[in-house]
Amino acid sequence: MKILVLQDHLRSGGTERHSILLARAFAAAGHEATLVTFRPGGTLAGTLGRLPHRALQPFDCGLDWFAPGLARAVRAAAPDLVLCMGRMANCYAGSLQKKFPGLVVVATMRTGKKIPRLFRRSLRLARHIIANSHGAETILVSQHGVPPAKITMIHNSLAFPPPASPADRSAVRAQLGASASTLVLLDVAMFRPEKNQRELIEIAARLPSRFDWQLWLAGTGPARTACERLAAEKTPGRVKFLGFHADPAPLYAAADLAVHTSLSESLPNFLIEAHANGLPSVAYDVGGVSETGGIAVPPRDQAAFLARLQPLLDDPAERTRAAAAAQAHARANFASERQTQAYLDLFDRLVQTSPPA
């Protein structure tokens, strides 16, 4: 099978990571897979290795929506199927399906944000839609009127499964000034307003003074500067801004708890990865957060967040119990091989039943 995976830009988010992961997994399974992006470069461009990749913009115009020559590229590649990943790529799914009626164009619902009009049009026109959580599937049916038969739910797979040899926990902690007794809270996410790291800083500032704690925030993005100012005001020296990590596994090995106050999610990769690497979590219950296997609390309810967080901070045995439950759930439900096969089984069915061009 010849598969094109379509993404606008290789920034550092979870959808971008999964675009690469899926294209690479399809190729490893014996299929001809190519990653097509609108823009060249990007934070994750250096991770492509030998994965076939084509950028449509001859130089980076800085425009996520600009996909010059997309129809020509699709016609020249003559794929059996196009998988659209991310909001901008999904905006083109409908026009591609209309232009190439015999082609299988698969849209995806992987966001908790409001979707643009062209994305909504694609939901109507694309051959099929993959939702990455039951929450996203419900939104497709209830808010966008998509027939359930047109939707397949496939959870995200583990972008960073637990390494065979975990990183040296003490060395990573020592680099960041955390002692053996320090309770390290970790969040890995792009710094965008909807990811809402500022509430994590506010919640951490309310922790009882008896705790020796640090909050590690890994990621980059436009909201980072404001969060740095807030941390300096509320909790000087306690919040560590770690920047982008191509592989956050050493951070998972060194931390004690995963925390996430995002207000816009479909299925947060960070929580899945943290659980698989043995961290319990507390997170705001948005999108598919409750499907990840951690502790979910109502969004914007900082008191409820603290109430669920404090027993994990107070009691090492409770942390161990919660971590074991979350880890078992992640490894049972988000294994990469299982999710890749679900995609390929669906693709095979869609291609086999596709009407002639």
Greater confidence (94 vs 164) lies with: 94
Report whether pLDDT(122) > 90: yes
Q: What is the pTM of this model?
A: 0.86
Identify the pLDDT of residue 335: 85
Identify the pLDDT of residue 250: 93
Q: What is the CATH number of domain 2-157+335-352?
A: 3.40.50.2000
| Beta strands across the sheet bearing 213-218 | 239-243, 213-218, 183-188, 257-260, 281-284, 295-297
Residue 319 near residue 296, CB atoms below 8 Å = no
Identify the pLDDT of residue 189: 95
pLDDT tens, position by position, 206-255: 998 888 999 999 999 999 999 999 999 999 999 999 999 988 999 999 99
Token readout for 260 is: 């996430």
Identify the pLDDT of residue 111: 86
Nearest CA-CA partner of 279 in 298, 254, 304, 262? 254
Sign of torsion, CA 118 124 127 130? positive
Report whether pLDDT(162) > 80: no
> How buried is 225 (Cβ within 10 angstroms: 0-12 exposed, 13-18 middle, 19+ buried)?
exposed
Architecture of domain 169-333: 3-Layer(aba) Sandwich (3.40)
| Beta strands across the sheet bearing 53-55 | 53-55, 32-37, 2-7, 81-84, 104-109, 128-131, 151-153
Fold matches, 2-157+335-352 and 169-333: yes
pLDDT tens, position by position, 261-291: 999 998 999 999 999 999 999 999 999 999 9
Nearest CA-CA partner of 272 in 327, 338, 200? 327
pLDDT tens, position by position, 306-316: 999 999 999 99
Q: How confident is the model at residue 198 (pLDDT cuts 50, 70, 90)?
A: very high
Domain ranges of the chain: 2-157+335-352, 169-333
Cα 301 to chain centroid, rounded: 23
Greater confidence (160 vs 233) lies with: 233
Identify the pLDDT of residue 166: 72
Across the chain, mean pLDDT equals: 94
Distance CA 296, CA 273 (A): 16
**Looking at 11-15, 38-42, 177-181, which range is the least confident one?**
11-15
Q: How confident is the model at residue 46 (pLDDT cuts 50, 70, 90)?
A: very high
| Amino acid at residue number 274 | A
E-strand stretches of 77-209: 81-84, 104-109, 128-131, 151-153, 183-188
Average pLDDT over residues 185-191: 96
Report whether pLDDT(356) > 70: no
pLDDT tens, position by position, 56-67: 999 999 999 999
Residue 333 near residue 293, CB atoms below 8 Å = yes
Report whether pLDDT(155) > 90: yes
